[in-house]
Amino acid sequence: MNFLGINAIFHDPAAALVVDGEVVAAAEEERFSRRKHGKRPVPFSAWELPEQAMRWCLDEAGLTPADLDAVGYSFDPSIAAEIPDDPYDPVRVDYARRAPGFLAEALPGLDRGKVRFVEHHVAHAASAGLAAPSRTSSVLVVDGRGEAHSHLAGRYRDGQLEVLHRQALPESLGLLYESLTDHLGFLRSSDEFKVMALASYGEPRFLPELRELVRATGDGGFRAQAPDWTRFAPRRVDDGTWGGDHADLAASVQAVVEEVLVDLATWLHGRTGDRVLTMAGGTALNCVANSRIWRETPFEEVWVQPASGDSGTALGAALHLAQEAGELGAPQPTAALGRSWSGDELARWLTTAQVPFTTPEDLAGEVADVLADNGVVAWFDGRSEFGPGPWAAGP
């Protein structure tokens, strides 16, 4: 059976294909459009589908839209909560409701009745728990938001998800971090990695006050709503400089988020006693926090979905449908799930672009000589990676 997964609702649109239980292709739309993150992370961009990524996944497997048994869309508008402080959110939800029709238009031959909505955090969870090498694991999902929640804690056993806790909106560690990203002059839902980097330049001197606002509640949940950041530092203009109060604020928020995540993972282990923790959701891209979870919680192994952000929900939606159909196969084999080019194809493109090139007889030797001379080498080989960071199997 053939299952296509789609992420389009918030940001980082992507597509993934699972055939007979095996992950055969997955790619973000940005790899084709060259538009960073695929689209702007705003409600009125929810209609934009990963059209090129979808078509490539099908072409890679030699399939047509009519060959698909089901398409998983990683958001369920029927359970979406109303977000009072976002007047455009109803637009996003309305686009999601219309997604079956949009997909049928984008993929001629697709029966719109085959499109199924998969809860956002269930798709995140599946991208971790169903893709990891271990078939039994605790799963922790933390991000900005799904339909009505910002967090899911649970356990996978033999492909079945048991949900142990959900955190209702508006409490959200991801939205807290996004809000700080915006206050520090960066693009929210896109540049949070810059805040994590900025934190390394500061001292967490605001941590005691932030602990009163952002904390675990001891029952698997937490309290986390963005405060008035000007209490700590004025709004920053991204002028290429950093440091001072802004770096200290970044360090303080990073520290308090790490503490809450460690508490959430520790609580989850207390409920499951599992050896392995799997993680997904945009917050799981915070590698500094992941390292603390690995060091400070009772879990022996931590496996993080390489495409932990929303792009990974495309893979999770497809895996979830495959599992429901009784077709869950081998774990995700690699992060290299995107398109590739042969040497001849690369040569044709370089020739067309009139870029001079050579093909050394001893490539490894020539690269070694450049490195030995303190040179820089960019090496392209194999398939494109799915996700923004390196293949992650724990710190």
Q: Quick one: what percent of the chain has pLDDT higher than 90?
A: 82
pLDDT for residue 41 is more than 50: yes
CA dist., res. 48 & res. 98, Å (int): 12
SS3 (DSSP) at 280: strand
Taking each helix axis from N to C end, the angle separating 99-106 and 89-97, rounded to the nearest 10 degrees, works out to 60
Do 153 and 306 touch, CB atoms closer than 8 A?
no
Q: Report the residue count for the chain.
A: 395
Tens of pLDDT along 333-371?
A: 999 999 998 889 999 999 999 999 988 999 999 999 999
Interacting residues of 63 by C-beta distance below 8 A, sequence separation 6+: 2, 17, 19
Amino acid at 6: I
Q: Among 156, 10, 148, 127, which Cα is nearest to 81's?
A: 148
pLDDT for residue 392 is more than 50: no
At residue 117, the pLDDT reads: 98
Confidence of residue 395 (pLDDT cuts 50, 70, 90): very low
Tens of pLDDT along 101-155?
A: 999 999 999 999 999 999 999 999 999 999 999 989 999 999 999 999 999 999 9
Place of tokens 């530092």: 233
At residue 44, the pLDDT reads: 83
Q: Among 324, 332, 175, which Cα is nearest to 257's?
A: 175
Tens of pLDDT along 268-283?
A: 999 999 999 999 999 9
pLDDT for residue 246 is more than 90: yes
User: Cα 109–111–112 angle (5° rounding)?
Assistant: 125
pLDDT for residue 243 is more than 90: no
Structure tokens at 189: 């839902």
Do 244 and 198 touch, CB atoms closer than 8 A?
no
Residue 370's φ and ψ, nearest 5 degrees, are -65, -45
At residue 390, the pLDDT reads: 42
CA dist., res. 128 & res. 124, Å (int): 7
pLDDT for residue 394 is more than 70: no
Mean pLDDT of the chain: 93
CA dist., res. 355 & res. 138, Å (int): 50
Peptide bond preceding 100 in cis form (omega within 30 of 0): no
pLDDT for residue 236 is more than 50: yes
CA dist., res. 67 & res. 59, Å (int): 12
Interacting residues of 322 by C-beta distance below 8 A, sequence separation 6+: 1, 3, 18, 21, 328, 329
CA dist., res. 173 & res. 260, Å (int): 9
The answer to whether the pTM exceeds 0.85 is: yes
At residue 393, the pLDDT reads: 33
